[in-house]
Amino acid sequence: MDAPTSPLPELLAAWMPSQRWFPSKGREISLSRAGGIRLEDPSGEVGLEVHLVAVESGRRLDVVNVPLSFRSEPLEGADAALLGETDHAELGRRYVYDGTHDPVFVSAWLELIRTGGGTPDGRTTATALGDFASSNGVPPSARISVLGGEQSNTSVVISSGKTPMILKFFRVLAAGESPDVQVSAKLTDAGSTDVPQTFGWVMGSWQDARADGEWITGHLSVLREFLTGSKDAWKQALTALEAGKPFAAEAAELGRVVARVHTQLGQAFGSRPATDAEAAEFRESLASRIEWAWREAGSAVGPFDAEIQSVTREVQGLEKLPELQRIHADLHLGQILATREGAWLVLDFEGEPLRPAAERSVPDVPVRDVVGLVRSLEYAAGVGVHEGSVTPSVAEAWASEAVEAFLEGYSDEAGTTVDRASVLFRALWLDKALYEVVYELRNRPDWVDVPVSAVRRMLKGGRAAEEQSVEEKPDQEEAHQEGIVEETTAGPQETGKAPAAEAAHSEGAAGTPPGDPIPVDTEILQAVSEGRYYQPHAVLGAHLDHHGHVTVRTLRRLAESVVVVTGSGRVELSHEHNGIWVGTLEPERPGHVPDYRLEVVYDGAPQLTDDAYRFLPTLGEIDMHLIAEGRHETLWTALGAHVRRYASALGDISGVSFAVWAPNAQSVRVKADFNGWDGSVHAMRSLGSSGIWELFVPGAEAGACYKFEILGRDGQWREKADPMARGTEVPPLTGSRVVESRYAFGDDAWIQERSGKDPHNGPMSVYEVHLGSWRLGLDYKQLAEQLVEYVQWQGFTHVELMPVAEHPFGGSWGYQVTSYYAPTARFGHPDDFKYLVDKLHQAGIGVIMDWVPAHFPKDEWALARFDGDTLYEHGNPQLGEHPDWGTLIFDFGRREVRNFLVANALYWLEEFHIDGLRVDAVASMLYLDYSREDGQWQPNRFGGRENLEAISFLQEVNATAYKRVPGIVMIAEESTAFDGVTRPTAQGGLGFGIKWNMGWMHDSLQYIAEDPINRVHHHGKATFSMVYAYTENFLLPISHDEVVHGKGSLLRKMPGDRWQQLANVRAYLAFQWAHPGKQLIFMGTEFAQESEWSEQHGLDWWLSDTIPHKGVQKMVQSLNSIYRDTPALYARDNDPSGFQWIDENDGAHNTLSFIRWDTQGNPLVCIANFSGSPHEGYRVGMPWAGQWTELLNTDAEEFGGSGVGNMGVVEAVEGASNGLPAYAELRVPPLGVLYLTPAQV
């Protein structure tokens, strides 16, 4: 049987988001067709198409270029380019490939260019230049290779032929001509030898998805000369730097090449003076860019607002600009190639990526390109120091010589002089450098020190004579291994050293005597002393100055003296300001901060302590990148509180790192028992635009209680529990606790076996438990003994735990969670909860846990308005508040919030070995109008009532959970007819494995609550569930919700006297076990609990000692035993052929009968009599004649019944009945259920 195929739109929707060029990663998207092209394969074997796809994400709309090939057989060596299989409307079943990897597609595309072809509608046109138009073309057998690493394009190298070529496909399309194609073509036509030759391009058109009938035209691809054996100038420069070789000659030639290209561009496109309007627009655009970049980068650079304002004022005061012309607009060393012959060639005239598209091709000042190369040379020197390959002095001299040579070469060729001191040069330099800071913050936080240092120097007005242009950076690997920061003015922590480090350089140039501390403004010192400065590491801790001395500052209020202790001596500090002490010391190694401790005297003996402000950030580059993308699937390993241990020269270090997401905060600090609940002494540092705040506190220990103090934009401080805390105080206390897990699971066999099973088609008999009231007063460890023993004795396959995550109000039963990552402290340590799960597994019992991502409470100390603004909750009350429960609703469209929740699901599955999550209140998430009247909700963008962001979130969490943790199950408590709850996400479903069958529960309870004499009129309620039984994968729940709030216990729902009530309970449960679907009952139901459940009182365990109730308990034990041993009762729960009615219409007798089949054709016959009297000689059709075993009789005396039955054996005889070939005449007990199976021979 052929494997199933997927429609092409589904393949695209699944494949495109995983591609590097896809523009809307981590967002909810909508795809639609915007245009397309069909090419012809001369052999007629391969289908060739280009799909132009509109990608809508919120207000953003992109059109992407997707070449595809359709093959009847797999393409050898192209597995990574396979989208999947589909049924093509014309070609039939086909393998679908990314066309850029298919030689047949590439050949056809090149032929389109060579012939200057197009489509009949004129919406696609190709152009060939020069000799390529008269060439013989490129055959499908040509060697092609796709370059890796590109972010927004796909480039294919064609090696066959006399001249190697590179074919670039623009993936995210832009309206109008591509500046890169336009400029390169002009320069090729003009005969330039300073750019690669352009051979041709393709223009295409697509529909504007937001303007009916409008078409947009732009470049789809370009074909150019490929330079084999070339190296970019960036690599050449770094190689020279690391080898200790000058780069002056090469830089001078670079200057001449850039000048020639500027001349050629001026000739090709013209040049002219700027009009008054253009000059005004230039000034406004440059000032606005600097201000925008400063808003993004300012927190990393430091308090230089006044200097930035001064620069932008100077820009606004520019009276005259150089002549305007076309320029490169994103020129750096990486955009220039060195050929084998030693020439430089300039590439990629697309313009700077972060500039608006409209600005990339407008005439500009050539000095912008000059500045770009200057910064690139300076950056190369900074990288050399950052990586430890050169010393600061070598990098200083190398960069200075290279920049001067480049400028001289440019000036000689252009016949002009570049004034580095001019307002224009300085402003463009700052614009470029701030752009670098923004880029590094977003993409490579560990590298932000390189541009940050340069920006600080510029803003301080210094240059080479005033300070080193590149600072030395310690060996990062060694620093991390030692767990200490041998701090210099570079490195990842550079983001926090603006005041101290920069003051060192500017003051040093003015003649500060060696040994004086680096000065810091009084206002900053005051903010630091009060714990409200966003970059305390910039002031506190250790910092190297220009002279190589180390300044140490520490906040020690009320201290009588403070001494810095190193391996080589002691240095006494002086009180500087409001509890801040300062002093200087000599480094033990030049350029490195020594390992040190602080000896502090308050009132008595000295105390030796460590300094929290000398450590590297504990979040690495990968952590920051994944958090920014909303894809950190183990978020709990990065954020929250973590015990860490390091080795250092002065002895081992242990402490706790704290990290929290609070992007709207002005300041964050740790308030804890280890600092006397004075958070001002442990202010955290901002890690830039990520919104993460971080601090490592040496000496803090596991078990410490803490909170975060957060200063909001409104100027108010708020105390908040840690959203990522893995432990808490016992409610009603609200503090978070530092947890260090030492538990080692012993359930390897369980986990291994689970990973190979299909939980959706295996046995699942679930015992729902509220841990606090199963037996009052038990903790996790006691439950691990008593609950495990009991559940194992009863024979349930799984327990389902009502929410375990910490919640302040016991009466919420756990459904109003405040600490999503912490098992409730009411019953012990998180490791004790692991012990409970482990014991259940070792007893062969699976663990399902209720999980509540639908809403959270408004407690001021928890998630609500966490950093002073709406953050975890949606900012729109119509989407962010739940009218029924008085709670807040998560912002499912915000990537950080989705990440918080997806990681939380994985946390319980991976860290606690939970086997499944039952997701609470799914229906409330799916619908925008849930419990809302007209006017209280807004339709989605398609005009519907579905909450698209919540749906996307559920799909993400389900797909991720099933991908990462084999054998688990995701269960939906969903009470509507929403389509596809358990359909895989690849097929457009929500991706759950099982859905609670609330319809069966309501109908069957209404039926069983009727007096038997009336049940004939409601017989359909007992059978209707089979009409839709296979539309989803179902579980039949009799949960806690059915035995609270005045509904009474299951026993009390039953009509009749006590005997009849108990008989009804037994019959109902046996019917539930036999019905297709998994089953769940709430604790106490198994012995027919008398009273309605209350979390405050526990169960009526004394009833289980009485004969009637013990009989129900024994019957449930038998049900579970039969269930586990009878695959017919579970193996085909989701297969309609596993169920067969015998007689569903005998309402007159209140009786129904059916067969369950296993995968081997073995049956179990179930006959249920819900009338109050027995049926004597009741004829029922049977699968075949012969002896059948009465496997279960709920009326058996051992279960508390009357003993009406068939003495354990039933004889079926041949003869048609109920459409079956045999029948049996039975005694069917009153209010009883029989299970019959073929007798074993």
Q: State phi, psi for 491 to the nearest 5 degrees.
A: 110, 175
Q: Tell how strand 640-646 and strand 1186-1193 pair up.
A: unpaired
- Coil, strand, or helix at residue 379? helix
- CA-CA distance, 618 to 640, in Å (whole number)? 11
For residue 172, list its beta bridge partners. Answer: 64
Residue 893 near residue 949 (C-beta atoms within 8 A): yes
Q: Tell me how far CA of residue 493 lies from CA of 538, 623, 670, 1101, in angstroms.
A: 8, 15, 19, 61
Query: Is residue 614 classed as helix, strand or coil in its secondary structure?
Result: helix
Identify whether the C-beta of residue 791 lies closer than 8 Å to the C-beta of residue 767: yes
Q: Can you tell me the distance from the alpha carbon of 233 to that of 691, in angstroms, rounded to the nearest whole number? A: 36
Nearest one of 1213, 1020, 1229 to 1115, comparing CA atoms = 1229
DSSP category for residue 762: S
567 exposure class (CB count in 10 Å sphere: 0-12, 13-18, 19+): exposed
User: Residue 146: which of 220, 235, 78, 227 has the closest Cα?
Assistant: 78
| H helix intervals, 989-1035 | 998-1009, 1019-1023
Residues near 1152 by beta carbon (within 8 Å), at least 6 away in sequence: 1019, 1022, 1023, 1143, 1144, 1146, 1167, 1168
- Structure-token pair, residue 1210: 């039933």
3-class secondary structure, 1153: strand
Assess whether 973 carries a catalytic annotation: yes
Side chain identity at residue 334, one-letter code: G
Q: Could you give the angle at which helices 948-964 and 895-911 cross, rounded to 10 degrees?
A: 30
Amino acid letter, residue 812: S
Q: Annotated catalytic, 920?
A: yes
| Cα distance between residue 1224 and residue 1215, in whole Å | 9
Let me know: does 17 contact 29? Beta carbons within 8 Å. Answer: yes
Amino acid at 341: E
Residue 424 to residue 436: CA distance in whole angstroms: 18
Is the torsion defined by CA of 1154, 1158, 1164, 1169 positive or negative?
Answer: negative
* Amino acid making up residue 51: H
Could you please report the per-residue DSSP string of 795-812?
T-SEEEE---EE-S-GGG
Catalytic residue among 307, 413, 920, 1003: 920
Strand 640-646 and strand 653-661: the pairing is antiparallel
Bridge partners, residue 215, by sequence: 207
H-run or E-run covering 440: helix 423-443
Say how many C-beta atoms besides its own lie within 10 A of residue 320's C-beta. Answer: 8
Nearest CA-CA partner of 1211 in 1241, 1239, 1235: 1239
Which residue among the candidates 396, 973, 1133, 1146 is catalytic per the annotation? 973
| Cβ atoms of 687 and 624 closer than 8 Å | yes
Q: Provide the annotated active-site residues.
A: 920, 973
